[in-house]
Each structure stands twice: as structure tokens, then as C-alpha cells.
Amino acid sequence: MTPIDALIHQFEYGRMRLLKTLSDIEALPVADELLHWRMPFGKGRAHIGWQMMHCAATLDRYLNVRILEKDPVDSHLVTNYAGGSNPDDQVRITPDQIRSALAATAPPFLSYFRALSEDRLSQKPHERADRTHVEIFHLLTWHEAHHQGQCHLAMNCFMAGR
């Protein structure tokens, strides 16, 4: 297994866990309420649906804006769910929308890294980038696992309060 294959495998494992959490939520009779529930403590906490869409938006923005120096592919997704945006409780996000956004943003991100030669992993994508390719990959893999953990914790807290 090459270093790039190992990185991709780790990302795909984390993505599988995020999708499992979504499937677990979707199977509940209170799925819509749970997807849009905010933890009652701490100001400005995002609901589960927003966090999952945030994972998709982050991949779009990081790949297209920060690595390729282009516009995001889905500007609506990035505007509404990337870092710095505010969750809108009036917008109802469905499991299908979440699954679709996650499915649309991961393949281009992974394809970019699959096409890299191993010697480029330790290099920045361009001189203005603040991280090397491997640092970017580690950051985004951690980022998604971090939000999956938040989603799972929120789900457990919600269910404990029922």
C-alpha cells in the first residue's frame, strides 16, 4: 500500500462512519427532529444536519478554492455550510441532501490526491498555500472525524433526553 493509498483508506473509513451515523439517525422515527436539534448548552452550536453538510462544504472549498485556486463547485453549499457560515434552523436538510452533498464532494477531492505523485505529498499545492498536501489531507481527515464525533455525541444526548 502506498502512502497515498493509506491516506485515502483512512479518509474512506472516517466517511463510512459518518454515513453510518446518518443511517442510524435516518432509521429513527424522530430523524428530522434529531437532524435539526442543537445541544441546549453553549451558544451557537450547529445541529447535526449542518455539521454533516459542513463536511461536504469543507471538501469543496478546500479542494477548489485553497488547492486549485478556483471557485467552489457548489457555491450554495460552501456559502451556507462552510466555516464561518451560520446554521439556519429554518432550512430543513434531508438525509438524501446530506448523502448527495457528501457523495459529490469526496470523489474530486480523492481523485486529486490519487493523481499526486508521492514526492509531491511533502510539497504545498502552490506557493500561497499554508500547508503541504499531506498536512491538508491529515487536516481534512481529522476534520471529518471530529464532526462525526460531534454528530454522534449530539445524537446520544438527544436520545438520552427522550
The per-residue pLDDT for 27 is: 96
Task: Write down the pLDDT at residue 90.
Answer: 81
pLDDT of residue 68: 98
String of DSSP letters for the chain: --HHHHHHHHHHHHHHHHHHHHHHHHTSTTHHHHHT---SSSTTPPPHHHHHHHHHHHHHIIIIIIIS-S--S-HHHHHHHSTT----TTS---HHHHHHHHHHHHHHHHHHHHTS-GGGTTS-SSTT-SS-HHHHHHHHHHHHHHHHHHHHHHHHHHHHT-
Q: What is the pLDDT of residue 91?
A: 84
| Residue 136 CB neighbours (<10 A) | 22
pLDDT in tens, the chain (162 residues): 999 999 999 999 999 999 999 999 999 999 999 999 988 876 778 899 999 999 999 999 999 999 999 999 999 999 999 988 888 878 899 999 999 999 999 999 999 999 999 999 999 999 999 999 999 999 999 999 999 999 999 999 999 988
Its pTM stands at 0.95
Domains and their CATH numbers in the chain: 3-160 (1.20.120.450)
